[in-house]
Amino acid sequence: MLTRSLQNMALALALLFFPPGTAAQDFVPVSLSLEETIDIARQNNPGLQAVRNDEDVANWNVRSAYGGLFPSASVNGGISWQGAGEQTFGSLTFEQLGFANQPSFLFSNYNLSLEYQINGRTLLAPGQAKADRVAIQAQFADAEANLIFQVTQGYIAVLREAEQLRVAEQQRERASFNLRLAAAQLAVGSATGVDVAQAEVAVGRAEVTVLQTSNALETARIRLLQQMGADLDSPFVPTTPFELSEPLWDREELYQMGLAYNPNLRSLRASRSSSSYEVKMAKSSYLPSLSLRANTSGFTRQASSTALSIRQAESQAQGSIQNCLFFNDLFSRLTSPLPSQDCAQLQFTDADAQLIERENHGFPFSFTGQPPAAGITISLPLFQGLSRQRQVTEARVQLDDLDLSLREQELALRADIATTLATVRTAYQAALIEDQNQIVADEQLRLARERFTVGLADFLELLEAETLKVEADREQIAAIFAYHDFLANLEAVVGNSLRTP
């Protein structure tokens, strides 16, 4: 079991691996608790950040779905230029139609349109988007819970290897003491050279164990930093104690807690809610749709020269005067003559020419409006090749599958809680037994050392007691951290922390 001395030893190891001058990430404190480790991993783990980004897309999907309930508007415009020269109108030229010497023209136009479409799918889209967002949030919670489980296991692994290193160093110290003791006994004739050689081999093996355990600790530390998304050279010392506590939880209570907090179940429930909206969306294809539209537009045209327009106006005025004179002559020949018209009023004047000049300056914004247009369309689909029935059936089957998956996961949850809780209780009892075994091995080693010192036992008996002591220490550590590993598994199944704060 971890004690304050173990934490002090871990701090000394950290200072040994990372001297005070070593650069470290600012966000990784040297004294690192489990809660701080989880918080850092939440903020920096790349995999979790990637899942978190999906929530931003889901938020915009909701906004876009609500935006679909509003009409869409668009405006466009443009300008163009047409050079002077001969042009065709069908099979004739403008010159043949009496429009010779066409000038160049500048054109501009605009068009403003408003459209609104509404149907069952559009009305249900916001609810579908919000259900999808809840499903994505549940998936993020599931990924976060999995990360917390992995980080907790990594944190426990660092503590386990630190404790194993402490035991290995104690083993090396005892082996060195036994070597000195064997050499002293050899000097007084109570031991043999073989005893000294065996003691030297024990020291060498203890050195190898320390090296291997140090490497295992460094590996566990690097893997934890990797899960945290931190610099792999960041020095830290785990400070959260993992004590043994009797598992007194009630299985049914844990099951009810799991139904409420298990991240996988919550994700499935959110997916089912989204799938139920898919059924509604599929059925909405049977509903009519309404479409409204309106638009208005305008244009301008400006010629590079008004000479042709003035000549055409003069020609039209001259033609009107000739017609007027003809009708006046005709009216005067009648039996009852009609009053004649004043043909002078039809004369093309300078004022008319100036008006043509003024009207030729509309480009680019003095638009001539076109008649506005509006319309409404109601569409009711009658037959679409059974595609709607297929879509509804697919959506219902997917919903039924999710219901079955939920039922399957609830059964699996009950079984996982029952088996894992039993394993935790067994691990707790095993840890208590290993505690007693470690006390017995301590006492046996002390007695063997005393017997060897006074010459009542040979060195082989001392080595056997030392071996039993090392095995007892390692089995004690293995039992304690096996308990915490199984407890972490139980917490992952339940979806909530069960540790005493």
Q: Check residue 453 and give its pLDDT.
A: 83
**Domain range summary for the chain, segments of one domain joined by +:** 4-15+26-66+124-288+389-494, 78-121+294-379
Q: Check residue 91 and give its pLDDT.
A: 59
**Cα–Cα dist 349/293, whole Å:** 46
**Cα–Cα dist 238/39, whole Å:** 14
Q: Check residue 359 and give its pLDDT.
A: 75
Q: Which residues of the chain have pLDDT under 70?
A: 1-26, 85-101, 500-501
Read off the tokens for 370: 């076109």
Q: Check residue 354 and give its pLDDT.
A: 79
Question: pTM of the entire structure?
Answer: 0.73
Q: Check residue 22 and give its pLDDT.
A: 37
Per CATH, the number for 4-15+26-66+124-288+389-494 is: 1.20.1600.10
**Cα–Cα dist 113/72, whole Å:** 8
Beta strand ranges found along 162-205 (DSSP E): none
**Cα–Cα dist 477/88, whole Å:** 99
Q: Check residue 99 and give its pLDDT.
A: 56
Question: Would you say the C-alpha torsion 428, 430, 432, 434 has a positive or negative sign?
Answer: negative
DSSP code string of 100-150? -S---EEEEEEEEEEEEEE-HHHHHHHHHHHHHHHHHHHHHHHHHHHHHHH
Gyration radius of the chain's alpha carbons: 46
Q: Check residue 345 and give its pLDDT.
A: 82
